[in-house]
Amino acid sequence: MSYDLYFKPRNDSFSDELFHSYFRDRPNYKCEGAQAWYGNEDTGVYFVFELQTEQRSEEDYDDDEPLEHFPVALNINYLRPSYFIFEAEPEVTAFVKHFDFLVSDPQMKGMGEGEYKAEKLLSGWNFGNEFGYASFLKDENNRSGVSHLPAEQLQNAWRWNWSRSQVQARVGESKFVPRIMFLNLSGSPVTAAVWPDGISVVVTRVDYLCVPRKELAPTKFFRKKEDTTFVEWDKALPVLLKHGTQNNDGSISLNYMTPPSDVVKFIQSLPSENRAIEGLSADRVLDREIYERSAV
For the stretch 17-70, pLDDT in tens is 999 999 998 999 999 999 999 999 999 999 999 999 765 444 444 555 556 789
Whether residue 180 contacts residue 204, with contact meaning beta carbons closer than 8 Å, is answered with yes
| Rounded distance between C-alpha atoms, residue 68 and residue 105, angstroms | 13
Q: What is the pTM of this model?
A: 0.90
Which of 8-22, 58-72, 123-137 bottoms out in mean pLDDT, i.e. has the lowest? 58-72
| Rounded distance between C-alpha atoms, residue 56 and residue 33, angstroms | 19
What's the confidence (pLDDT) of residue 64? 56
For the stretch 63-96, pLDDT in tens is 555 567 899 999 999 999 999 999 999 999 999 9
Q: Give the mean pLDDT of 211-216.
A: 95
Q: How does the average pLDDT of the chain come out, rounded?
A: 92
What is the amino acid identity at position 286?
L
What's the confidence (pLDDT) of residue 63? 57
CA 230 to chain centre: 22
| Rounded distance between C-alpha atoms, residue 132 and residue 127, angstroms | 9
| Rounded distance between C-alpha atoms, residue 84 and residue 7, angstroms | 20
| Rounded distance between C-alpha atoms, residue 251 and residue 82, angstroms | 23
Whether residue 209 contacts residue 231, with contact meaning beta carbons closer than 8 Å, is answered with yes
| CA 228, 231, 232, 238 torsion-angle sign | negative
